[in-house]
Amino acid sequence: MYNIVYSIVFHQSIEFVNHFLKNIEKYNKENNYLIIIHLSDKLYNQKDNLYKKNVMINPIHYNKKLFTHLLMKPFIENFEYLISQNICFDNFMTLTSSNRLVRQAPKFVLQNINKLKGVSEPQQALDKFLNCPDSPWHWPTFLKNKDILKIFQDNKIKIIGGQVSGRLYSKNIMEKICKFIRVNKIMELIKKELCFEEIILPTLANYYMNTNQLVYCHTFWNKPSSIPNVNDVKQILNEKPHIFIIKRFPEDLNHILYKTTFS
Protein backbone atom coordinates (compact mmCIF):
# COMPACT_ATOMS: atom_id res chain seq x y z
CA MET A 1 0.00 0.00 0.00
CA TYR A 2 1.39 3.37 -1.01
CA ASN A 3 0.78 6.35 1.30
CA ILE A 4 0.98 8.74 -1.59
CA VAL A 5 1.16 8.68 -5.39
CA TYR A 6 2.67 11.74 -7.08
CA SER A 7 1.35 12.39 -10.59
CA ILE A 8 3.53 14.47 -12.93
CA VAL A 9 3.62 15.39 -16.62
CA PHE A 10 7.05 15.79 -18.25
CA HIS A 11 8.40 17.07 -21.55
CA GLN A 12 11.94 18.10 -20.58
CA SER A 13 15.27 16.27 -20.89
CA ILE A 14 16.07 12.91 -19.31
CA GLU A 15 18.51 14.68 -16.99
CA PHE A 16 15.82 17.08 -15.81
CA VAL A 17 13.26 14.34 -15.21
CA ASN A 18 15.70 12.13 -13.32
CA HIS A 19 16.70 15.08 -11.14
CA PHE A 20 13.05 15.59 -10.17
CA LEU A 21 12.41 11.89 -9.54
CA LYS A 22 15.40 11.76 -7.19
CA ASN A 23 14.20 14.97 -5.52
CA ILE A 24 10.93 13.24 -4.60
CA GLU A 25 12.83 10.22 -3.31
CA LYS A 26 15.03 12.43 -1.11
CA TYR A 27 12.11 14.17 0.58
CA ASN A 28 9.78 11.22 1.22
CA LYS A 29 11.56 9.34 3.98
CA GLU A 30 8.30 8.98 5.92
CA ASN A 31 6.22 7.67 3.02
CA ASN A 32 5.89 4.57 0.97
CA TYR A 33 5.48 6.54 -2.23
CA LEU A 34 4.99 5.98 -5.94
CA ILE A 35 5.49 8.38 -8.84
CA ILE A 36 3.43 8.01 -11.99
CA ILE A 37 4.63 10.02 -14.96
CA HIS A 38 2.96 11.00 -18.23
CA LEU A 39 5.49 11.74 -20.95
CA SER A 40 5.86 13.58 -24.21
CA ASP A 41 6.43 11.42 -27.29
CA LYS A 42 10.16 12.14 -27.34
CA LEU A 43 10.63 11.30 -23.66
CA TYR A 44 8.62 8.13 -23.96
CA ASN A 45 10.97 6.91 -26.68
CA GLN A 46 13.84 7.46 -24.23
CA LYS A 47 12.06 5.95 -21.21
CA ASP A 48 14.70 3.26 -20.67
CA ASN A 49 17.07 6.00 -19.49
CA LEU A 50 14.76 7.20 -16.73
CA TYR A 51 15.35 6.65 -13.03
CA LYS A 52 13.31 3.60 -12.10
CA LYS A 53 12.94 3.53 -8.32
CA ASN A 54 9.26 3.83 -7.30
CA VAL A 55 8.39 5.13 -10.77
CA MET A 56 5.54 4.00 -13.01
CA ILE A 57 5.36 5.20 -16.61
CA ASN A 58 1.94 5.62 -18.15
CA PRO A 59 1.99 3.88 -21.57
CA ILE A 60 -0.29 6.65 -22.87
CA HIS A 61 1.92 9.44 -24.16
CA TYR A 62 1.58 12.50 -26.36
CA ASN A 63 2.79 16.07 -26.62
CA LYS A 64 0.90 18.57 -24.47
CA LYS A 65 0.00 22.16 -25.19
CA LEU A 66 -0.09 24.99 -22.68
CA PHE A 67 -3.45 26.51 -21.74
CA THR A 68 -5.44 23.53 -23.03
CA HIS A 69 -7.28 20.53 -21.60
CA LEU A 70 -4.19 18.47 -22.50
CA LEU A 71 -2.70 19.59 -19.18
CA MET A 72 -5.63 18.18 -17.21
CA LYS A 73 -6.16 15.02 -19.23
CA PRO A 74 -2.86 13.34 -18.18
CA PHE A 75 -3.77 13.59 -14.48
CA ILE A 76 -7.03 11.76 -15.21
CA GLU A 77 -5.23 9.18 -17.34
CA ASN A 78 -2.55 8.66 -14.70
CA PHE A 79 -5.14 8.01 -12.00
CA GLU A 80 -7.17 5.68 -14.20
CA TYR A 81 -4.03 3.76 -15.18
CA LEU A 82 -3.23 3.20 -11.49
CA ILE A 83 -6.72 1.78 -10.99
CA SER A 84 -6.45 -0.43 -14.08
CA GLN A 85 -3.20 -1.89 -12.70
CA ASN A 86 -4.76 -2.55 -9.28
CA ILE A 87 -2.27 -0.32 -7.50
CA CYS A 88 -3.16 0.06 -3.82
CA PHE A 89 -2.75 3.59 -2.49
CA ASP A 90 -4.37 6.08 -0.12
CA ASN A 91 -3.63 9.52 -1.56
CA PHE A 92 -2.95 11.12 -4.93
CA MET A 93 -1.09 14.42 -5.42
CA THR A 94 -0.81 16.45 -8.61
CA LEU A 95 2.51 18.13 -9.36
CA THR A 96 3.89 20.06 -12.30
CA SER A 97 7.38 19.72 -13.71
CA SER A 98 8.30 23.20 -12.43
CA ASN A 99 7.78 22.11 -8.82
CA ARG A 100 10.46 20.96 -6.41
CA LEU A 101 10.25 19.48 -2.94
CA VAL A 102 12.34 21.53 -0.53
CA ARG A 103 11.81 19.72 2.77
CA GLN A 104 10.49 16.40 4.00
CA ALA A 105 6.93 15.57 3.04
CA PRO A 106 4.65 14.76 5.97
CA LYS A 107 3.65 11.15 6.43
CA PHE A 108 0.46 10.84 4.45
CA VAL A 109 -2.29 8.69 5.86
CA LEU A 110 -5.84 8.45 4.64
CA GLN A 111 -7.41 10.24 7.57
CA ASN A 112 -5.16 13.31 7.40
CA ILE A 113 -6.96 14.66 4.31
CA ASN A 114 -8.90 17.00 6.60
CA LYS A 115 -6.29 17.28 9.34
CA LEU A 116 -5.29 20.78 8.26
CA LYS A 117 -8.81 21.91 7.45
CA GLY A 118 -8.78 25.51 6.34
CA VAL A 119 -5.07 25.52 5.46
CA SER A 120 -5.00 26.07 1.71
CA GLU A 121 -3.56 28.38 -0.88
CA PRO A 122 -5.69 31.31 -2.11
CA GLN A 123 -8.41 30.30 -4.54
CA GLN A 124 -10.57 32.29 -6.91
CA ALA A 125 -14.33 31.88 -7.16
CA LEU A 126 -16.37 32.41 -10.31
CA ASP A 127 -19.13 34.20 -8.44
CA LYS A 128 -16.63 36.80 -7.20
CA PHE A 129 -15.49 37.44 -10.76
CA LEU A 130 -19.08 37.92 -11.93
CA ASN A 131 -19.54 40.56 -9.24
CA CYS A 132 -16.14 42.17 -9.79
CA PRO A 133 -14.69 41.38 -13.25
CA ASP A 134 -11.57 43.54 -12.91
CA SER A 135 -9.32 40.50 -12.27
CA PRO A 136 -10.42 38.14 -15.02
CA TRP A 137 -7.85 35.31 -14.68
CA HIS A 138 -9.29 32.39 -16.74
CA TRP A 139 -12.93 33.20 -16.13
CA PRO A 140 -13.90 34.98 -19.39
CA THR A 141 -12.56 32.02 -21.37
CA PHE A 142 -14.20 29.46 -19.10
CA LEU A 143 -17.58 31.18 -19.48
CA LYS A 144 -17.44 30.49 -23.21
CA ASN A 145 -17.73 26.78 -22.41
CA LYS A 146 -21.44 27.08 -21.78
CA ASP A 147 -22.20 23.35 -21.86
CA ILE A 148 -19.58 22.65 -19.20
CA LEU A 149 -20.78 25.61 -17.16
CA LYS A 150 -24.35 24.28 -17.30
CA ILE A 151 -23.28 20.88 -15.98
CA PHE A 152 -21.78 22.48 -12.89
CA GLN A 153 -24.77 24.76 -12.42
CA ASP A 154 -27.24 21.87 -12.79
CA ASN A 155 -25.33 19.94 -10.14
CA LYS A 156 -25.20 23.02 -7.88
CA ILE A 157 -21.41 22.91 -7.77
CA LYS A 158 -19.63 26.13 -6.82
CA ILE A 159 -16.89 26.80 -9.36
CA ILE A 160 -13.48 27.86 -8.05
CA GLY A 161 -9.97 28.07 -9.44
CA GLY A 162 -6.50 27.50 -8.06
CA GLN A 163 -3.10 26.03 -8.86
CA VAL A 164 -2.81 22.33 -9.61
CA SER A 165 0.57 21.95 -7.90
CA GLY A 166 0.64 20.17 -4.57
CA ARG A 167 -3.07 19.37 -4.38
CA LEU A 168 -3.89 16.37 -2.22
CA TYR A 169 -6.72 14.02 -3.11
CA SER A 170 -7.76 10.88 -1.28
CA LYS A 171 -8.20 7.93 -3.63
CA ASN A 172 -11.99 7.88 -3.22
CA ILE A 173 -12.27 11.61 -3.94
CA MET A 174 -10.20 11.31 -7.11
CA GLU A 175 -12.34 8.37 -8.22
CA LYS A 176 -15.44 10.56 -7.95
CA ILE A 177 -13.74 13.38 -9.86
CA CYS A 178 -12.69 11.12 -12.73
CA LYS A 179 -16.15 9.57 -12.89
CA PHE A 180 -17.79 13.00 -13.02
CA ILE A 181 -15.51 14.09 -15.87
CA ARG A 182 -16.09 10.90 -17.85
CA VAL A 183 -19.85 10.56 -17.25
CA ASN A 184 -20.47 14.19 -18.17
CA LYS A 185 -18.11 13.98 -21.17
CA ILE A 186 -16.29 17.13 -20.10
CA MET A 187 -13.44 16.57 -22.56
CA GLU A 188 -15.87 16.42 -25.46
CA LEU A 189 -17.70 19.63 -24.55
CA ILE A 190 -14.74 22.02 -24.75
CA LYS A 191 -15.50 25.03 -26.92
CA LYS A 192 -12.71 27.32 -25.78
CA GLU A 193 -9.40 26.04 -24.41
CA LEU A 194 -7.85 27.18 -21.14
CA CYS A 195 -6.17 25.77 -18.02
CA PHE A 196 -9.02 23.42 -17.12
CA GLU A 197 -6.85 21.64 -14.54
CA GLU A 198 -6.84 24.86 -12.50
CA ILE A 199 -10.65 25.05 -12.42
CA ILE A 200 -12.27 21.65 -12.81
CA LEU A 201 -9.98 19.65 -10.50
CA PRO A 202 -10.09 22.02 -7.49
CA THR A 203 -13.80 22.67 -8.05
CA LEU A 204 -14.73 18.99 -7.91
CA ALA A 205 -12.33 18.29 -5.04
CA ASN A 206 -13.88 20.96 -2.85
CA TYR A 207 -17.37 19.80 -3.84
CA TYR A 208 -16.82 16.16 -2.93
CA MET A 209 -14.71 16.93 0.16
CA ASN A 210 -17.13 19.62 1.34
CA THR A 211 -14.18 21.68 2.55
CA ASN A 212 -11.19 23.61 1.20
CA GLN A 213 -8.74 21.19 -0.37
CA LEU A 214 -5.24 21.01 1.07
CA VAL A 215 -2.50 22.52 -1.09
CA TYR A 216 1.08 21.77 -0.06
CA CYS A 217 2.75 23.94 -2.70
CA HIS A 218 3.47 27.66 -2.62
CA THR A 219 3.74 29.72 -5.80
CA PHE A 220 5.35 33.17 -5.88
CA TRP A 221 2.89 34.82 -8.24
CA ASN A 222 4.39 38.27 -7.61
CA LYS A 223 7.83 37.28 -8.89
CA PRO A 224 8.98 37.52 -12.53
CA SER A 225 8.01 34.18 -14.12
CA SER A 226 6.98 33.18 -10.57
CA ILE A 227 10.59 32.19 -9.83
CA PRO A 228 11.62 33.01 -6.23
CA ASN A 229 15.06 33.65 -4.82
CA VAL A 230 16.60 31.63 -1.99
CA ASN A 231 15.45 34.04 0.74
CA ASP A 232 11.89 33.96 -0.61
CA VAL A 233 11.77 30.20 -0.20
CA LYS A 234 13.30 30.27 3.28
CA GLN A 235 10.80 32.89 4.40
CA ILE A 236 7.72 31.02 3.16
CA LEU A 237 8.91 27.76 4.73
CA ASN A 238 9.20 29.59 8.03
CA GLU A 239 5.76 31.18 7.69
CA LYS A 240 3.88 28.12 6.41
CA PRO A 241 4.99 24.89 8.09
CA HIS A 242 2.73 22.69 5.92
CA ILE A 243 4.41 23.81 2.68
CA PHE A 244 7.05 21.40 1.37
CA ILE A 245 6.80 22.09 -2.38
CA ILE A 246 7.76 25.25 -4.25
CA LYS A 247 6.73 26.51 -7.66
CA ARG A 248 8.45 27.62 -9.81
CA PHE A 249 11.98 26.31 -10.18
CA PRO A 250 13.66 27.18 -13.51
CA GLU A 251 14.59 24.47 -16.01
CA ASP A 252 18.30 25.31 -15.72
CA LEU A 253 19.60 22.76 -13.22
CA ASN A 254 22.62 24.99 -12.55
CA HIS A 255 20.37 27.64 -10.98
CA ILE A 256 21.19 28.48 -7.35
CA LEU A 257 17.80 27.18 -6.18
CA TYR A 258 18.89 23.65 -7.06
CA LYS A 259 22.18 24.07 -5.23
CA THR A 260 20.56 25.27 -1.98
CA THR A 261 19.54 22.97 0.85
CA PHE A 262 16.48 24.38 2.59
CA SER A 263 16.09 21.79 5.35
Q: 200 near 181, Cβ under 8 Å?
A: yes
Which residue type is seen at 118?
Answer: G
Could you tell me if residue 239 is inside a domain? no
pTM of the predicted model as reported, rounded to 2 decimal places: 0.93
Could you tell me if residue 256 is inside a domain? no
Could you tell me if residue 236 is inside a domain? no
Could you tell me if residue 171 is inside a domain? yes
pLDDT of residue 137: 78
Residue 217 DSSP code? E
Digits of tens for pLDDT over the chain (263 positions)?
999 999 999 999 999 999 999 999 999 999 999 999 999 999 999 999 999 999 999 999 999 998 999 999 999 999 999 999 999 999 999 999 999 999 999 999 875 454 444 444 556 777 666 665 565 678 889 999 999 999 999 999 999 988 999 999 999 999 999 999 999 999 999 999 999 999 999 999 999 988 778 899 999 988 888 999 999 999 999 999 999 999 999 999 999 999 999 98
Q: How many distinct structural domains can be found in the chain? A: 1
Could you tell me if residue 224 is inside a domain? no
Q: Angle of helix 200-209 relative to helix 171-183, nearest 10 degrees?
A: 120
pLDDT of residue 135: 59
Residue 33 DSSP code? E
Could you tell me if residue 168 is inside a domain? yes
The H-or-E segment that residue 9 falls in is strand 2-10
Q: Residue 248 CA to chain centroid, in angstroms?
A: 13
Specify which residues 8 forms β-bridges with.
Answer: 37
pLDDT of residue 117: 45
What is d(CA 22, CA 243) in angstroms, rounded to the nearest whole number? 19
Could you tell me if residue 59 is inside a domain? yes
Residue 108 DSSP code? P
Could you tell me if residue 244 is inside a domain? no
pLDDT of residue 131: 60
Where in the sequence is the domain holding 136, given as residue range(s)?
2-99+122-215
